[in-house]
Homo-oligomer: A and B are copies of this chain.
């Protein structure tokens, strides 16, 4: 029963010291009641909890506790792109599924961060957020600066699909092998006139045909590696870059590629399933049959809307597993255990969107 004379209650929020005083115990005892790090007599505990309730004390201030403990229980997950990328790209959502799963098991909170150079001045960043570790997604050269920030802070870092330094812990895909396998598949079908629709080259995300000079400027590692693998098989392949991984971008690139003309490719290798779906749509628009008139392959192995009866020929990547592996690596790093980089493999899947090329018909 709260007395009516409580009007003198201090305006500032109660601290654990206030609670201890009200309960007639020492601050350390009160602290232990809340942390449970040591046994406390039942009666004492009740007295402390009672005093806390009375004072409206809701538990230790996490900021102070975090300062004292030296840990915050928070792991940053940093994207290079707009944060929405994490929610609208099916491959990233699958990866986040695995990642949040593993981090939850570790008992860590997930702080979503964008590696934004012109963020609000007081916004949390990899350099300034109260985090215990960081996971960098799609680390391109531009992100290297952030990587250095994190490492300067001596925080554990895991890089997914990125161009990290030598000794950064990386979770990677066998992009080169998988893309090469797709290219060889198409080559084996007798295609010689092949085009590539790539993911963005860099954060500028410029669209359109790319000549050797522009290809040399690619900074996004995934784009670069997958492209190199295809060009190892088809050195003269026409290269068109998309502005992102979406059906619409694929459609734009596909229209460019499949326009009337002798130079029309007989096969298109897209660097993502969404792009491939867009290319197929462009083919249908142009009155071309897939795979009779043009073969199309993707990359990722996600299920795509609007493909109709087609089953995409693609490289199926273990996206959820990729995220989970990153989370588990963070857990090991945080526990001070040794952890090594991991390389996951894709599975080639032959669908109905690739067929014999001119040479084999």
Contact = CB atoms under 8 A, between A and B. Distances in A.
B93 A109 contact: no
Interface stretch (A16-24, A119-127, A190-198): A119-127
Contacts of A59: 127-128
B63 A130 contact: yes
A20 to B, nearest CB: 19
A114 interface: yes
Contacts of A122: 73, 107
Contacts of A86: 87, 100
A83 B100 contact: yes
> So how many copies of this chain end up in the complex?
2
A120 B107 contact: yes
Given A66-B130, A152-B56, A154-B13, A123 B107 contact: yes
Interface string A70-95: 10111000000011101110000110
Contacts of A113: 109
A250 to B, nearest CB: 15
Contacts of A288: none
Interface string A105-137: 111111111101001111110011111000000
Contact of A109 (B97, B105, B112, B121): B112
Given A112-B110, A303-B305, A308-B308, A93 B83 contact: no
A314 to B, nearest CB: 15
A266 to B, nearest CB: 28
Nearest to A112: B110
A101 B58 CA distance: 31
A280 interface: no
Contacts of A74: 111, 124, 129-130
Given A62-B129, A87-B87, A106-B120, 19 more contacts: A58-B152, A59-B128, A61-B67, A62-B131, A63-B63, A66-B130, A73-B122, A82-B101, A83-B100, A83-B101, A83-B110, A86-B87, A88-B93, A104-B114, A107-B123, A109-B111, A109-B113, A109-B129, A308-B308
A179 interface: no
A304 interface: yes
Q: Name A's interface SS.
A: loop
A239 interface: no
A153 interface: yes
A153 B56 CA distance: 9
A89 to B, nearest CB: 10
A206 B101 CA distance: 23
24 contacts: A13-B154, A58-B127, A58-B149, A59-B127, A63-B67, A63-B70, A66-B130, A73-B122, A74-B130, A83-B100, A83-B104, A83-B110, A84-B96, A86-B87, A87-B87, A87-B97, A88-B93, A93-B93, A104-B114, A104-B123, A107-B120, A108-B124, A110-B111, A303-B305
A64 interface: yes
Nearest to A65: B128
B83 A88 contact: no
Nearest to A96: B87
A62 B128 contact: yes
Contacts of A94: 87
